[in-house]
């Protein structure tokens, strides 16, 4: 395509182009130059003919990109051409809005033969308590799909309480250990000589039709044909027992017996569980209800997005004896999911609850199974024997392999709560003695970037996913 002229009076551009083979007509698709990187179209000029020239194109007073697209003059349009995506050639997305001239794209008879389909396999982070609550639904970033991959909880529990382990059950209302995966193929109907396939590297993972399991896709096979009734297609990945595996979406050439396009996600079993306990009246949410005053949950969300199995709670789910929802989660992780590593941290009363939870876990090791408390952390820890407890938490959590303690201590009292030093802590810092923390109070210490990054970085250095 070439711009051959411009009429300054009318604003019309004249263009010449090579007509698409077998096209009865053409249209111009255009968009603002600011949208060229996203390929977003803002308008169309329909019915420009098939002569190879057009003298009346006027997109308006702005800077524009534009493309000439061939069509059959009735309902079918062809290719929008190729662009570089991630350094490789890929088909440009069509204008799906079709505000003026409405066509359905068909690439099966393009002049240079069919292009390889575009495939996208996307895995999501695990369900935490409820799917999307309190932590939102997050996709595994493209750069993390192979390393470290998508974490999966080994499905050894009994979510529907029917007395049958979920790993051997085929329908599980309330199931929360499967990983959502969406599959996209463009075009949805593969070109002639191509079929879509779903493959796994081994039997460590199963693929189900629903979050409650229902229909398993692989059966005894590791490669099965796939039909896209709609796009995206959603499946759910289960790991019945610990073991890594890859899931791959393929466009398979039936003539060459080889993949012409593919996308892969690696899956690994979680070996740790992280418990985050907020302070008094702090309710876990995503984003936190007070974004600048809930540092405990900001850390938790960062760890979750990094691929950890994170559970964030109000500190009162841990009783003075350590019993409660958080304790049950850790026991299930160890006893039913094969988890070895445990990390617990908390702010204010959440610090006191961290100690109570670690103490109960340590006391009940014989009945729980093998585990290691790899990390604990306090941010201005306060005893939590009741909602009105104002005493400084001074105890080191029993059997912790590493304890990080941040506290402010300009002087404590009824209206000046503060943490204190912890004997035996591996990291023990009175932030009041630092230049960056001198003005921090009990109500702001958990939000200081130096504190939140310190807890996060010391945890990730010692706790594998």
What would the pLDDT profile of 378-395 be if each residue is shown by its tens digit?
999 998 877 777 788 999
Residue 417 is predicted with a pLDDT of 85
Query: What pLDDT, on a 0 to 100 scale, did the predictor assign at position 385?
Result: 79
The beta strands (E) that lie in 155-242 are given as: 179-186, 194-200, 206-210, 213-216, 223-225, 233-238
Is the pLDDT at 108 greater than 60, yes or no?
yes
CB atoms within 10 A of CB 97: 12
The string of DSSP letters for 31-58 reads: EEGGGTTTT---EEE----SSSEEEEE-
Residue 314: CB atoms within 10 A of its CB come to 20
Backbone angles phi, psi at 146, to 5 degrees: -105, -35
Indicate if the pLDDT at residue 206 is higher than 80. yes
User: 416: pLDDT confidence band, cut at 50, 70 and 90?
Assistant: confident
Q: Does 150 have pLDDT greater than 70? A: yes
pLDDT for residue 87 is more than 70? no
| Tally of CA atoms within 13 A in the half-sphere of 221 that contains its CB | 9
What is the per-residue pLDDT across 425-448, written as a single tens digit (0 to 9) for each? 999 999 999 999 999 999 899 999
Residue that is written with structure tokens 């083979």 in the block: 21
Indicate whether 86 pLDDT > 70.
no
Q: What is the mean pLDDT of residues 344-373?
A: 97
Q: What pTM value is reported for the model?
A: 0.76
pLDDT at 192 over 70: yes
Where do the structural domains in the chain lie, given as residue ranges? 2-105, 118-269, 272-460
| Range among 8-22, 161-175, 300-314 with highest mean pLDDT value | 300-314
Per-residue pLDDT, 115: 64
Look at the block and give the residue holding tokens 């006391």.
363
> Which carries the bigger pLDDT value, residue 192 or residue 413?
192
3-state secondary structure of 331: helix
Work out the average pLDDT over 74-103.
80
- Structure-block tokens of residue 18: 């090579």
Mark residue 326 as left, alpha or beta (left: phi above 0; alpha: psi -120 to 50; beta: remaining).
Answer: alpha
Q: Provide the pLDDT confidence category of residue 84 given band limits of 50, 70 and 90.
A: low
Report, at the CATH architecture level, how domain 272-460 is classified: 3-Layer(aba) Sandwich (3.40)
Query: Which residues, 6+ apart, have CB-to-CB distance to 92 below 8 Å?
Result: 39, 67, 79, 80, 81, 82, 83
pLDDT of 88: 59
Lowest mean pLDDT among 59-63, 334-338, 370-374: 59-63
pLDDT in tens, 257-269: 999 999 999 999 9
Residues 181-186 have a mean pLDDT of 93
Mean pLDDT score of the chain: 91
Query: Which of 132-136, 143-147, 235-239, 248-252 bottoms out in mean pLDDT, i.e. has the lowest?
Result: 132-136
Across 150-169, average pLDDT: 92
Tell me what pLDDT residue 459 has: 98
Check whether 95 has a pLDDT greater than 80: yes
pLDDT bracket for residue 89 (50, 70, 90):
low
* Angle 103-68-193 from CA coordinates, rounded to 5°: 60
Domain 118-269 of CATH type 3.30.2170: no
pLDDT at 51: 93
pLDDT reported for residue 352: 96
pLDDT exceeds 70 at position 313: yes
CA 280 – CA 277 distance, rounded (Å): 10
């Amino acid at each position: 395509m070439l711009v051959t002229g411009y009429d300054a009076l009318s604003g019309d551009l004249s263009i010449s182009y090579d007509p698409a083979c077998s096209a009865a007509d053409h249209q111009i698709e255009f968009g603002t130059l600011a949208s060229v990187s996203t390929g977003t179209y803002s308008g169309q000029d329909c019915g420009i003919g098939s002569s190879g020239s057009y003298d009346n194109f006027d997109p308006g007073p702005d800077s524009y990109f534009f493309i000439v697209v061939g069509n059959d003059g009735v309902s079918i349009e062809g290719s929008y051409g190729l662009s570089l995506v991630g350094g490789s050639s890929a088909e440009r997305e069509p204008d799906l809005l079709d505000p003026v001239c409405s066509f359905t794209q068909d690439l099966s008879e393009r002049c240079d033969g069919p292009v390889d389909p575009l495939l996208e396999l996307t895995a999501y982070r695990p369900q935490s308590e409820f799917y999307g609550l309190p932590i939102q639904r997050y996709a595994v970033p493209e750069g993390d799909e192979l390393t470290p991959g998508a974490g999966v909880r080994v499905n050894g529990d009994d979510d529907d309480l029917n007395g049958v382990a979920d790993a051997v059950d085929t329908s599980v209302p309330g199931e929360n250990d499967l990983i959502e995966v969406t599959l996209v193929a463009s075009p949805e109907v593969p070109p002639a000589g191509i079929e879509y396939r779903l493959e796994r590297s081994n039997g460590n993972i199963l693929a189900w039709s629903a979050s409650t399991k229902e229909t398993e896709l692989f059966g005894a096979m590791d490669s099965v044909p796939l039909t896209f009734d709609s796009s995206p297609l959603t499946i759910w990945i289960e790991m019945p027992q610990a073991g890594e595996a890859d899931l791959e979406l393929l466009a398979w050439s039936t003539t060459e017996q080889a993949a012409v396009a593919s996308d892969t996600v690696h899956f690994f079993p979680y070996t740790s569980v992280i418990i985050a306990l907020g302070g008094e009246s702090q309710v876990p949410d995503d984003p936190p209800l007070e974004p600048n005053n809930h540092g405990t949950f900001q850390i938790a969300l960062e760890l979750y997005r990094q691929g950890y199995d994170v559970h964030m709670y109000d500190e009162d789910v841990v009783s003075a004896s350590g019993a409660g929802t958080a304790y049950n989660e850790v026991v299930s992780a160890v006893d039913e999911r094969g988890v070895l590593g445990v990390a617990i941290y908390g702010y204010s009363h959440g610090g006191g609850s961290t100690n109570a939870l670690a103490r109960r876990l340590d006391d009940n090791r014989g009945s729980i199974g093998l585990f290691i408390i790899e990390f604990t952390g306090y941010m201005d820890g306060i005893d939590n024997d009741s909602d009105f407890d104002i005493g400084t938490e001074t105890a080191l959590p029993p059997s912790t392999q590493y304890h990080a303690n941040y506290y402010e201590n300009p002087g404590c009292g009824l209206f000046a709560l503060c943490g204190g030093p912890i004997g035996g802590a591996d990291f023990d810092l009175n932030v009041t003695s630092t230049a960056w923390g001198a003005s921090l109070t009990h109500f702001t210490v958990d939000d200081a970037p130096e504190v939140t990054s310190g807890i996060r970085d010391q945890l990730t250095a010692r706790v594998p996913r």
